[in-house]
Amino acid sequence: MKPVPFSHNIADTLQLASKALNTDGSKIIAGGQSIGPMLNLRLVRPTTLIGVTRLEELQKIHITGDTLSIGAAVTHARIEDGIDGVDLPPMMRHVARSIAYRAVRNKGTLGGSLAHADPAADWVTTMTALGAQLVIRDARGKSRREPMASFMRGAYRTGLQQDECITAVEMPVAMGQALWGYDKICRKVGEFADAIGAIVIHPDLKYARVVVGATEDAPLLLPDMAREIARTATAPSLGDIDSTLATYLPGASRVKRQLLKTALSRAIAKVIPS
Amino acid sequence: MKTGIGAKVPRKEDARHLNGTAQFVGDIKMSHLWEAAYVRSPLAHAKIKSITKPEGFEDRVFSMADMVGLGPIAAQSTLPTYNQSNHWPLAKDKVRFVGECIVMCVAPTRAEAEDLAEAVIVDLEPLPVHVTVDTALAPNAEKLHDEWENNLFLTTQFDTDLTEIRKTAAVVVEREYSTARQCMAPMEGKGALAYWDGKADQLVIYTSTQVPHLIRTGLAECMGLDQGEVRVIAPDVGGGFGYKCVLQPEELTVGWAAKHLGRPIRWTEDRREHLTAGANTREHKYKMTAYADDTGRLLGVDADIWVDVGAYSVWPFTACLEAAQAGGNLPGPYDLGAYACRTYSVATNKPGFTPYRGVARPGVCFAMELTIDAIARAVGRDPLDVRRLNLVPGSKMPYTNITGKFYDTGDYPEAARQAAEMIDAKSFAKRKAEAASTGRHLGIGFSSFTEQSAHGTKVFASWGLALVPGYEQAMVKLAPTGSVEVKSGNQTTGQGLETTIAQVASDWLSLDISSIKVTMGDTGMTPYSTGAYASRGMVMAGGAVSKASEELARRIRVLGAHLLQCKAEETELKDGAVFRGAASVSLKQIAQAWYLRPDLLPDNIETTGMEVTEGYKPTIDTGVFTYATHAAVVEVDIETGKVDILDYVIFEDCGTRVNPLILDGQSYGGAAQGIGTALFEEVIYDSAGQPLTSTLADYILPGPAELPSFRLGHSESPSPYSRHGIKGVGEGAAIAPSGALVNAINDALTPFGAEINSIPATPHRILQAIFDARDAREMLEAAE
C-alpha cells in the first residue's frame, strides 16, 4: 500500500498552482484525507501533486456585502471551532463536528471535499442545501461561479475542468439565520454516511430546500417537497417521503430507502416538530 | 509481597508502549535491509499458466520455482478421514484464494518492491469458485485439491441416542444460525524480518508471533534446516488473537530470501493484505434441533455444523481444530443428557481458517444461547430462569459433561444470577414498558459459557494435531545484583504476561516486580514453550515460573542459612532477604556470595546454582474451566436498524485472579472484540470470491463510541488442579457477546415478530428481518 512515484509541488501562489494544474497527470492535494488513501491503494496515479493548503487566499473566511465567502482550503476543524471572527451558519458548524474524526478534520478541507465529490460525504449535501456557490478559477486566472446544486454531476464527478481549482465557497450571509435540520445515519461514529437528510428554510429569502444525500449519486434535491413544507409548515408523512424517494431513486433497495426516508424525516422534524 | 499474586499492579510493559519506545518488527533498523512485497492472486481460483518477471529485475523477483529447498506448509493430523493440503509459500500451479502469494519482490523500499510487483505478469486461467460451503459440497463440485475425493478436510460425528427423546419431548425448537467470516484485525499486522547470522551460522528471524518456539520448528522443517540453524525472536507484538499462532507463508519466503540474498529482508503486512489474505476466521453455519420438556429443561440437542475453513490447513493447528472444538463445546455450560452432532470442515476459495480468540466457542455459544432463549419463548418462561434451570449447578462439581469435558470448579447458575442482579433484570420489564410508551424498543439478553483453558496433551492429541503441548518450561535466576531474571518461551502480545509471571516470581522470592526482569519470545534465550494460545499463558508459564521460583527460593535459603550460620529450615524468605529471627542477609548479599565471593561458602555447598529451569503442567490434562455470564440491555432503533448498547455486565470466575487490573483489561478487550463479532465485522465476498471489504471503511470495527461502559463482577473458585488455582482467561470475554446482544435484540424485536439468527446483526439484517416479518404478516392477513 504505497503510492506510485510522483512529485510533490507545494505552490507559492494560486497562479503557479493553476499553471501546474494545466499539465497532464497533475492533481491538487488539499488536505489529503481522501486522496491519501487512494494514492496508497494506487487508485490514483498522479505524476505531480500540487499542494494548495498553504495558499493564503484559499485560507480566508470573510464577508463582503451580503455574501459570506469561505476559502477552499479552510479545514473542517476551523469550521467546527468557528474561531475566525466571522459568524458561520450554525448548520455548517454542526455538520463539521460530525465529519469523520478530529484528526481528519484537522487536515481535510472544504474545497477538497467538494472537489472529491464523494456522495456519502457531508459537505456536498450540506452545501447543496445551503444554496452555496463555488468560485472556480482556471489556469489563465479567470474565475467563474457555479451553484453547488449543479456542480456535482454524479459520484466523484464534478464540473471542474483539468485546469480548474475551487478557490472559495459563497453563500448569502443571511443563511446564518435559516431554519435547518440535518440528520446523518452511519454505522459508527466517524464513518461515511449510509443516509443523509437535510432541510434549509429561510422565510424572508423565500428559500426552501430539501436534500437527500448518500444516495450513491449527487445529492438529490426535492423541490416540490420543499415548496410544500414552506407553504404548509407541516412535515410530509413517512408514506409521502417513501413514495417520493421511490420515484426519484427506483434502483434503491428497500433498506436503503428506509434509511434515506428516516434521515430525511428526522431532519425535517428538527424544523417542524411533530 | 505487595506485587505478588492478587496485586493490582500496573503493567511492567506499559512504560515502553506509552513512550513509543517499544520495538515491533516494523521498528527494527538494520543496515542493508530490503523490503518485500508480494504479487497476490487477483482471482479466487485459477490455474497459473505463466509468470513473467520484469526484464532486468530477475534477481529481485522470485516465484516458487526459484525457491529451491523450500517446502509447502503441510499440517498433518492423526485423524483418519483428514485430507491434508499443501500450501506452497508461493503458489505453484494453482491459486485458491484472492490474496494468495504468487511472487515475492524485494527492493530497498516497500514502494519500490510494490512497483516491481506491479510489473510482474501472471497469466491465470479462471476455475469455478466456491464462496459457500453449499456449492463446495454440491455433487461434482470443482475440487480445490485435485487429489482429494471432494472438498472436505474432515467430518466428525458425536452421537448419543436421541430416538426416544425425539418421540417424547414436549418442546422441539429448530433453528439455522450463521456467523460471518472475520479478520482478527490486531493493531499491529503480521511482520517478519530475517537475516543470516554468519557467526552463529543461523537464520535469525524476528517475527510478530505468539509461538516463537513452534515457528522455529516449522521454519526448520519447511526450509530443510536443522533447528540449531534457526533462531526465532518475537519482539514486541501488537496483538495476536490467534492470527499469529500459525506458520505463515511470508515467514518462510522472507527466511529463504534472507538466506539466499545474504541481506536482511523484511515484510510488513499492510491493512489491505490483512483484510483480504488475512480474512480467515469465525465462519460457521448451524442447523440445530433442541428438545426440552414443558418447563424448558433441555433433554437433547441434535446439530449439524459446517465450518467454512477456506483453502488450506494451517500449521500446526490444522483446518480441523475449529470444527473439533465446535462439536465438543456446543453443549457449553449446560447439563445436557443427549447430544448428537456432525461437523463438516469444508474447503472453499478463501484464506485458510485460523483459530481466533475463543476458537469456535463464539459460534457455538451464540447458537446455544439463542436456542436457550427460543426454548424459553416456546415454553413461555423467562430466558434467565430456563438458563439457570439448565446450567450445571455447583452441587454437581466436578462434573463431566456429555462430550467428556471435565468441569473442575464453580457454580454456573450462580454466575447467571449475579449477572442478572448486576443488570437489574428484575425491574427490566418496567423499564421496557416505560420505553415502549415513548416508542423506544428495549431488550435484555443473557449468555453463559465455559472457557476451557490450558487444555493439554491429551486434549490436543485427541484433536489429531501432530504437534501437542506438553510440559511448559521456565527459568528463574538470581542475578549478582540481587535482582531476578525470569525467562519463558511463552510470549506476550499485549495480554500482560510480562507482568503477571513476574508477580508469580515476586510471590515466591519476596521481590518487587520492578526487580524482576522478564524475557520472553526469543528461542535463543528462553526454554521451550509451545507459546501463547488456548488461554494457557498464565496457567502454564505462570505455573512453570512458580515451580522454578519455589526451587530457587529453597536454594536461596540454603545459601542464606549458611551465611546466617543456621539450618535452612530455621530461615524465612521475606522482604527481599533471608531471615533467621531478627538477623538477615539480603538477596543481594546472597547473590554476591555465590557469584563474586564463593570463598565465603563452604566446600560442601550445593552446586546447582542460582539458576533454575523447571517444567510444569497442571495435574489434569483436560484444562481448567473459567466461566461467566454476560448480560446486555439494548435499544433497537427500528427505523434505522441500529443497536445501542445501554448496559453491559459480565460476571465471571477465573479462579485465582493474579492481577485484577489486567483481568479487567482482558475482559474489556475481549468483550469489545465480541461486540465486533455480534454487530459489526463481516468479510463480504462477491460470487467470484472477491473480498469487497478490503479497507477499514468497508470492514467495520467497533470504535470507542460504539462500546458500552462494561461493568464487571467476579467470584473466585480456584482450580485444585493448577498452581495457585489459576485458570486461563484470555479468550473468555470474546465468546459471549453475540449471544447476549442478539438475545437482547430479539427480545426488543418480539413485538415485530422478527428474529435475528445471523451475525453480525447489522442495521441491514435487522431492517430486513423487520421487513420480512411484516411481509409475512401481511401475506397471512391477505390470505385470511
Residues B601 and B530 in one domain: yes
Chain-chain contact of A254 with B705 (C-beta, under 8 angstroms)? no
> What would the mean pLDDT of B84-93 be, rounded to a whole number?
97
Å between B699 CA and nearest CA of chain A: 11
Q: CB–CB of B422/B649 below 8 Å? A: yes
Residue B37 has pLDDT above 70, yes or no: yes
Q: How many domains does chain B divide into?
A: 3
Residues B195 and B49 in one domain: yes
High-pLDDT (> 90) share of chain B, %: 96
High-pLDDT (> 70) share of chain B, %: 100
Residue A28 has pLDDT above 80, yes or no: yes
3-state secondary structure (DSSP) of residue B774: helix
Residue B353 has pLDDT above 80, yes or no: yes
Residues B629 and B766 in one domain: yes
- Could you say which of B589, B616, B643 is where a domain stops? B616
Å between A222 CA and nearest CA of chain B: 21
Which residues on A lie below 8 Å from B768 (Cβ)? 254-255
Cα of first residue to Cα of last residue in chain B, in angstroms, is: 76
Domain annotation covers residue B206: yes
Of B702, B705, B767, the CB nearest to A255: B767
Quick check: B115 contacting A, CB < 8 Å?
Answer: yes
- Could you say which of B586, B616, B646 is where a domain stops? B616
Residues B724 and B680 in one domain: yes
Which residues on A lie below 8 Å from B109 (Cβ)? 2
Å between A230 CA and nearest CA of chain B: 26
Residue A23 has pLDDT above 90, yes or no: no
Chain-chain contact of B695 with A41 (C-beta, under 8 angstroms)? yes
Domain annotation covers residue B18: no
From the candidates B275, B764, B765, which should be mutated to test the interface with A, based on the most A CB atoms within 10 A?
Answer: B764
CATH number for position B257: 3.90.1170.50
CATH number for position B731: 3.30.365.10
Residue A274 has pLDDT above 80, yes or no: no
Q: Which residue of B lies nearest to A188 if distances are taken between CA atoms?
A: B706
Residues B532 and B650 in one domain: no
High-pLDDT (> 70) share of chain A, %: 100
Å between B238 CA and nearest CA of chain A: 20
Which set of grid coordinates corresponds to residue B483? 535482582
Rounded to whole angstroms, how far apart are CA atoms A20 and B14? 49
Of B272, B700, B705, the CB nearest to A1: B272
Which residues on B lie below 8 Å from A45 (Cβ)? none
Residue B485's pLDDT band (cuts 50, 70, 90): very high
> What would the mean pLDDT of A230-252 be, rounded to a whole number?
96
Q: What pLDDT, on a 0 to 100 scale, did the predictor assign at position B784?
A: 82
From the candidates B272, B639, B644, which should be mutated to test the interface with A, based on the most A CB atoms within 10 A?
Answer: B639
**B328 CB burial (10 A radius; 0-12, 13-18, 19+):** buried
Domain annotation covers residue B290: no
Average of per-residue pLDDT values in chain A: 96
Of B695, B702, B768, the CB nearest to A188: B702
Residues B639 and B611 in one domain: no
Nearest in space to A70 (alpha carbons), one of A48, A49, A93, A47: A93
Chain-chain contact of B111 with A2 (C-beta, under 8 angstroms)? yes
B688 or B459, higher pLDDT: B688
SS3 per-residue string spanning B15-64: HHHHHCCCCCHHHCCCCCCEEEEEEECCCCCEEEEEEECCCCCHHHEECC
Average of per-residue pLDDT values in chain B: 96
Residues B657 and B520 in one domain: no
Note down the domain range covering B600: 471-616
Residue B149 has pLDDT above 90, yes or no: yes
From the candidates A185, A186, A188, A266, which should be mutated to test the interface with B, based on the most B CB atoms within 10 A?
Answer: A188
Chain-chain contact of B111 with A194 (C-beta, under 8 angstroms)? no
Residue A48 has pLDDT above 80, yes or no: yes
How many CB pairs below 8 A link A and B? 58
Write down the ipTM of this complex.
0.96
pTM for the whole thing?
A: 0.97
Q: CB–CB of B445/B745 below 8 Å? A: yes
Chain-chain contact of A194 with B695 (C-beta, under 8 angstroms)? no
Nearest in space to B648 (alpha carbons), one of B676, B678, B671: B671
Q: CB–CB of B761/B678 below 8 Å? A: yes
Residues B570 and B501 in one domain: yes
- Could you say which of B594, B616, B638 is where a domain stops? B616
Q: Which residue of B lies nearest to A195 if distances are taken between CA atoms?
A: B640
> What would the mean pLDDT of A25-38 be, rounded to a whole number?
95
Domain annotation covers residue B217: yes
pLDDT by residue (tens digit) across A60-109?
999 999 999 999 999 999 999 998 899 999 999 999 999 999 999 999 99
Q: What pLDDT, on a 0 to 100 scale, did the predictor assign at position A11?
A: 86
Chain-chain contact of B700 with A191 (C-beta, under 8 angstroms)? yes
Residues B635 and B666 in one domain: yes
pLDDT by residue (tens digit) across B180-212?
999 999 999 999 999 999 999 999 999 999 999
pLDDT by residue (tens digit) across B406-454?
999 999 999 999 999 999 999 999 999 999 999 999 999 999 999 999 8
Which set of grid coordinates corresponds to residue B449? 459459557
Of A4, A41, A187, the CB nearest to B272: A41
Residues B484 and B382 in one domain: no
pLDDT by residue (tens digit) across B762-772?
999 999 999 99
Residues B372 and B445 in one domain: yes
Residues B542 and B663 in one domain: no
Nearest in space to B310 (alpha carbons), one of B130, B186, B149, B150: B130
Domain annotation covers residue B670: yes
Q: What pLDDT, on a 0 to 100 scale, did the predictor assign at position B459?
A: 85
Which set of grid coordinates corresponds to residue B782? 391477505
Beta pairing partners, B305: B286, B343
Domain annotation covers residue B151: no
Q: What pLDDT, on a 0 to 100 scale, did the predictor assign at position B1?
A: 62
> What would the mean pLDDT of B538-557 be, rounded to a whole number?
97
Which residues on A lie below 8 Å from B684 (Cβ)? none
Quick check: B271 contacting A, CB < 8 Å?
Answer: yes
Quick check: B640 contacting A, CB < 8 Å?
Answer: yes
